[in-house]
C-alpha cells in the first residue's frame, strides 16, 4: 500500500492503462477486461485489474494535470513495480487536419510546465515515447484500418489561458494538440527506465471550436483503448 493507492502488493499488473478520469478507468475495466476487480478507491481515483487476451492488465485513474498524475506514475513504478504505462486521454486539436475523434500518438511532449527546469538548469529536456510501445500501437492501427496521427503534443499546466490565441504559435511549430500529462509521464518513465506511451483522442478543437460532450469523452474512445490494449500485450 502506498500513500495514494490502497492496493496490496501483487494486485496491480506490470502494465497499466491510465486515463485522467477515474470513471473512464471504470468504463475501460468493465468494457474490455475479463473479471476486473477494484483495487483502489482512495480519493475516488479508481483502479482496476483484470485480464485481456489472457494477460493481466490494470487501469488506473490519474486525475488532471501533471502534479496529480505524476504522484500516481511515481507510486505505481516505485511501490508496485509497474513496467509499462500507457496514458489514454482526451486532447484539444491545434491543427485543422486533426479533427474530433481522431487518434493521436504522442511521439514527444513539449510543455508549458516548469517540471524539468529544476532538473536541467538552463537546458531543455525533451521527453519522448517508448519506441516499442509506439511501434506496436502503429502496427495495430494500420492492421485494423484505424487512421492515426503522430507527432509532438503540448502538455499544458493550464486548462484556461488568458489569451485564446496562444495556441497558434505552438501550431505554427507543428504541435498537433494539447493535453495535460504526457511530459510528466515521459519524464518519470525515463528516470526510472520503464516504458511509456500516450494515446489521445481529440475531444475538442481550438481551430474550429467544436467539442464532444462530457458523456462522449467518458465512453466513446473505443479505438484509442483498443490500440492501447494491443500495445500492452507481450
Whether 227 maps to a domain, the answer reads yes
Whether 10 maps to a domain, the answer reads no
Whether 189 maps to a domain, the answer reads yes
Report the chain's C-alpha Rg in angstroms.
17
Q: Say what the pLDDT of residue 2 is.
A: 83
Q: How does DSSP classify residue 211?
A: B
Domain count of the fold of the chain = 1
Sign of the dihedral through C-alpha 128, 101, 234, 9: positive
3-state secondary structure of 135: helix
Q: Say what the pLDDT of residue 219 is.
A: 56
How do the residues of the chain divide into helix, strand and coil, expressed in percent and rounded to 5?
A: 30, 30, 40
Q: Say what the pLDDT of residue 143 is.
A: 97
Whether 138 maps to a domain, the answer reads yes
- Other beta carbons within 10 angstroms of residue 174's beta carbon come to 11
Ranges of the chain whose pLDDT falls below 70: 217-220
Contacts of 182 (CB under 8 A, 6+ apart): 87, 106, 109, 127, 153, 155, 198
Q: What is the enclosing helix (H) or strand (E) of 108?
A: strand 103-111
CATH number at 221 reads: 3.40.50.1580
Identify which of 204, 62, 160, 175 has the alpha carbon closest to the alpha carbon of residue 110.
175
Whether 224 maps to a domain, the answer reads yes
Q: Which domain holds residue 202?
A: 15-232
3-state secondary structure of 72: helix
Whether 7 maps to a domain, the answer reads no
Q: Which residues are catalytic?
A: 204
Whether 4 maps to a domain, the answer reads no
Cα angle: 25, vertex 29, 30; to 5 degrees: 115
β-strands 15-18, 34-40 pairing: unpaired
Which cell is 171 given? 501550431
Q: Say what the pLDDT of residue 220 is.
A: 61
pTM, entire model: 0.95
Q: Is the CB of residue 198 less than 8 Å from the CB of residue 185?
A: yes
Whether 5 maps to a domain, the answer reads no
Amino acid at each position: 500500500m502506498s500513500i495514494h493507492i490502497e492496493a496490496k502488493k501483487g494486485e496491480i499488473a506490470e502494465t497499466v492503462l491510465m486515463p485522467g478520469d477515474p470513471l473512464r478507468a471504470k468504463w475501460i475495466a468493465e468494457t474490455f477486461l475479463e473479471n476486473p476487480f477494484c483495487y483502489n478507491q482512495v480519493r475516488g481515483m479508481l483502479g482496476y485489474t483484470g485480464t485481456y487476451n489472457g494477460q493481466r492488465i490494470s487501469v488506473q485513474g490519474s486525475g488532471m494535470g501533471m502534479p496529480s498524475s505524476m504522484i500516481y506514475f511515481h507510486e505505481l513504478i516505485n511501490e508496485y513495480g509497474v513496467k509499462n504505462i500507457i496514458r489514454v486521454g482526451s486532447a484539444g486539436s491545434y491543427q485543422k487536419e486533426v479533427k474530433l475523434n481522431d487518434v493521436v500518438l504522442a511521439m514527444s511532449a513539449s510543455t508549458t510546465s516548469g517540471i524539468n527546469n529544476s532538473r536541467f538548469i538552463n537546458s531543455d529536456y525533451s521527453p519522448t515515447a517508448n519506441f516499442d510501445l509506439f511501434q506496436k500501437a502503429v502496427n495495430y492501427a494500420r492492421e485494423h484500418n484505424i487512421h492515426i496521427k503522430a507527432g509532438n503534443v503540448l502538455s499544458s499546466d493550464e486548462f484556461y489561458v488568458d489569451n485564446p490565441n496562444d495556441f497558434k504559435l505552438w501550431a505554427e511549430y507543428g504541435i498537433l494538440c494539447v493535453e495535460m500529462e504526457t511530459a510528466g509521464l515521459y519524464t518519470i518513465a525515463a528516470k526510472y527506465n520503464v516504458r511509456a506511451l500516450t494515446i489521445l483522442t481529440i475531444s475538442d478543437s481550438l481551430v474550429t471550436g467544436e467539442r464532444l460532450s462530457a458523456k462522449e469523452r467518458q465512453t466513446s474512445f473505443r479505438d484509442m483503448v483498443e490500440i492501447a490494449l494491443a500495445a500492452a500485450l507481450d
